[in-house]
Chain A
């Protein structure tokens, strides 16, 4: 069992660190200040009565949301590493297609975010271009780009989270793993998704620079796989919808969707991702996720 450390605090999912103060606690804190005490004493019994009903509900929705996020994360823990090939099909409103193909390597890091390596094979003019990401739980990720024509390793800014990844409908922030520490949660409802029973949970990004005010995620109750994500932009308009299909299980534990489609409702453009050659627990070495390793990429 691997533990995730957040600012030195170790927890295993049972001790949520970012639990919000309940509504009742907040109201009491504001009322029990000098000067307001008289009024507070007078109305406290009434407030406690109503606040506790609403507060418990609010808290349970938040707690339930967090629990879903943690369970989904825990279900995907311990995979150690995986490699895969990915084809992105970019489609414009008129249906014209453009392809990107890349190889992906991901390594789990105990106590921190995952390390990922993306290497492009297509379009051919960017063949060998590689992106190395060191994910972090408590700060911005570190990113390096390798440009084979110049043989140059360049540290790049990771603040462009909302920007498009290689002209696709996926933003950089859509590609990273959903680190539990980087969102706040609220369970909204249970509903059917296809034949499965699903929960609908609202994720609110807590890090600056996100292009979204909130996301809605549909998880099935049995395996906590994500089937659908709705993205709401900074003006809270429904910007994009991502649908995952064709789930396959690896090592009797880890589910991976082999086909995903992201539709942008504002531009009418879409990007489909097809996964192939997924392999878990390969003999990947940490050395491949360093600047030295990045130079070796072909």
Chain B
């Protein structure tokens, strides 16, 4: 916590005292950010003991950016979330705090980023198995799109031959999970205390992970080939205390403990851009190595595409259709054999109004979920998001999704950007 306080203090100092930065006249300083007031209204009573109902939240994500005349820069983005109900959702993170320098070397250009940063890999919409660098900040939104900042040294070399990114990742961030009072959790809560987290590596969270990705565009095809060797971002959840044979009911587990195995993951991501059609694919194969050195292998793939109909019904609006098939042999994600269908209607009006309807159909069980999201700008600074999540069908045999079957909600987010 102390380091966060120092970080926030530094940020406030920099804003409040521009004189600090004006001393270095060739470094310009800019800042911007976003404050979001959110509320989630749950349609059902909570299913699990200790869970509460509707909640309010306030998030603040400011960025301070300083750039030298040569283009070298320092970016600092803390993230603060306060939740009225869940103490685990109330949290602070540093999304970005890195120094960037770049230059050219003959026909190629190079780039070096040192510090905390976020990196996105992937092409799909429903799930990005190749996106392995950053840990998921799950408490922000169950869609898993929010990521925690990751300390790294990130070097890039790019030229006519493509782009090569190499990473040294010296520190592991465990996933965030809702607390006892929070929604979108399993019946047993996940223990988030750092002391309880188990690592397959003897170096624990200080294991140095390595990663690299080569990417290129060849005509209509954009592709990336990636490799990751280090501690998994996906925890394996183990009950605590462990129920013992012969009677598996004793002792009764009271929580899940996060176990992070070592993995070696090879990934491939593709996008084919053919007019209004985008074909997309992601595939990973990974070997998981547990603390006792037992090994297993799994494959995760996403295959699909999107098709846009521009100026539909002779209007300014666009309709974009998405379809993706998710497959996971290891069961690390909820999407083991699931179809994703979505349609986005973009009005292309002055207020950038759009509405997206998404359906996920689990082919293993009779589980179907529906997501509706509406976005609209209210003014130059204010914007509104309304979102709804609902089970169309819930299969009692689908144990995983049964955990969140009472968490259908309508959410409203009002954001102020400056």
Q: Do chains A and B stick together as partners?
A: yes
Could you tell me which A residues sit within 8 Å of B by CB distance? Answer: 90, 92, 98-99, 122-128, 140, 142, 150-157, 159-160, 162-164, 166-167, 211, 285, 287, 290-292, 296, 298
Residue of A98, A123, A162, A291 touching B417 (CB-CB under 8 A): A123
Q: Are A160 and B163 in contact (CB under 8 A)?
A: no
0/1 interface trace, chain B 141-156, chain A, CB 8 Å (1 if under): 0000100000000001
Query: Does B30 belong to the interface (CB within 8 Å)?
Result: yes
Q: How far is the CA of A160 from the CA of B415 in the complex (A)?
A: 30
- Inter-subunit contact A163/B120 (CB<8 Å): no
The answer to whether B93 has its CB under 8 Å from any CB of chain A is no
5 interchain pairs, CB-CB under 8 A: A125-B383, A153-B120, A163-B318, A287-B104, A296-B102
B118 touches A151 (CB 8 A): yes
The interface-forming segment of B166-174, B343-351, B386-394 is B343-351
Give the complex CA separation of A140 and B276 in angstroms. 12
Residues of B within 8 A of A (CB): 30, 32, 34, 65, 67, 71, 73, 75, 100, 102, 104, 109, 111, 118-120, 122-123, 145, 156, 158, 163, 215, 217, 222, 271, 273, 275-278, 308, 310-311, 316, 318, 348-352, 377, 380-381, 383, 415, 417-418
Q: How far is the CA of A92 from the CA of B349 in the complex (A)?
A: 10
Residue of B nearest to A147 (CB): B120
Contacts of B119 in A (CB 8 A): 151
Q: In the complex, are the beta carbons of B351 and A142 less than 8 A apart?
A: no
* Distance, CA A296 to CA B220, complexed state (A): 24
Beyond A157-B277, A157-B308, A167-B350, 16 additional pairs, beta carbon < 8 A: A90-B350, A98-B351, A123-B383, A124-B32, A127-B417, A142-B217, A155-B273, A159-B275, A160-B308, A160-B318, A163-B311, A163-B348, A285-B104, A287-B158, A290-B109, A291-B158
Q: Is the CB of B100 within 8 A of A290?
A: no
Query: B348: which of A123, A142, A167, A291 is its contact (CB, 8 Å)?
Result: A167
A270 to chain B, nearest CB (A): 12
CA separation between A128 and B30, bound complex, in Å? 12
A142 to B216, CA, bound (A): 14
**Is chain B's binding surface mostly helix, strand, loop or mixed?**
strand
- CB neighbours (8 Å) of B273 from chain A are 155-157
Query: Within the assembled complex, what's the spacing in Å between the Cα atoms of A186 and B98?
Result: 56
- Residues of chain B with a CB closer than 8 A to A292's CB: 102, 109, 111, 156, 158, 163
Contact A287 B109 (CB under 8 A): yes
Residue of A nearest to B380 (CB): A123
Report A81 CB to chain B, min CB distance, Å: 15
Interface centre among A166, A287, A290 (most CB of B within 10 A): A287
Q: Closest 3 A-B residue pairs measured CB to CB?
A: A124-B417, A159-B275, A125-B417
Instruction: Report the Cα distance A1→B34, complex, angstroms.
Output: 48
- Chain A: CB-nearest residue to B111: A292
B158 contact set on A, CB distance < 8 A: 287, 290-292
Name the CB-closest residue of B to A96.
B350
A159 partner residues in chain B, CB cutoff 8 A: 275-276, 310
The residue in chain B whose Cβ has the minimal distance to the Cβ of A125 is B417
Of A90, A162, A296, A298, which is within 8 A of B310 by CB? A162
Which residues from B are CB-within-8-Å of A122?
380
Residue of B nearest to A148 (CB): B63
How many angstroms between the C-alpha atoms of A154 and B271 in the bound complex? 9
The CA-CA distance from A127 to B111 in the complex, in Å, is 23
Chain B residues with CB under 8 A of A151: 118-120
* A167 contacts B109, C-beta separation under 8 Å: no
A171 to B297, CA, bound (A): 50
In the docked arrangement, what's the CA distance between A163 and B222, Å?
A: 24
Q: Is the CB of A125 within 8 A of B415?
A: yes
A98 touches B381 (CB 8 A): no
Q: Are A155 and B217 in contact (CB under 8 A)?
A: yes
Q: Are A99 and B380 in contact (CB under 8 A)?
A: yes
Closest to A157 in B: B276
Distance between Cα atoms of A1 and B163 in the complex (Å): 32
CB distance from A31 to the nearest CB of B (A): 40
CA distance A290 to B67 in the complex (A): 20
| Chain A residue nearest to B352 in the complex (CB) | A167
In the assembled complex, which residues on chain B have CB atoms less than 8 Å from the CB atom of A92? Answer: 350
Are B278 and A157 within 8 A (Cβ)? Answer: yes
Distance in angstroms between the alpha carbons of A179 and B123 in the assembled complex: 31
Contact check, B34 vs A167: say whether CB atoms are below 8 A apart: no
Complex CA gap A157/B276 in Å reads: 6
Name the residue on B nearest A164 (C-beta).
B348
Residues of A within 8 A of B123 (CB): 154
- CA distance in complex: A285, B107 (Å): 12
In the complex, what residues of A have CB within 8 A of residue B145's CB?
150
Contacts of B350 in A (CB 8 A): 90, 92, 98, 167
When the two chains form their complex, are residues B310 and A163 in contact, meaning their CB atoms are under 8 A apart?
A: yes
Chain B residues in 8 Å Cβ range of A157: 273, 275-278, 308
Shortest CB distance B288–A (Å): 27
What residue in chain B is nearest A291 (Cβ atoms)? B163
Across the interface, which residues of B come within 8 angstroms of A98, CB to CB?
350-351, 380
Q: Which B residue's beta carbon lies closest to that of A298? A: B65
Distance between Cα atoms of A112 and B78 in the complex (Å): 43
CA distance A166 to B418 in the complex (A): 19
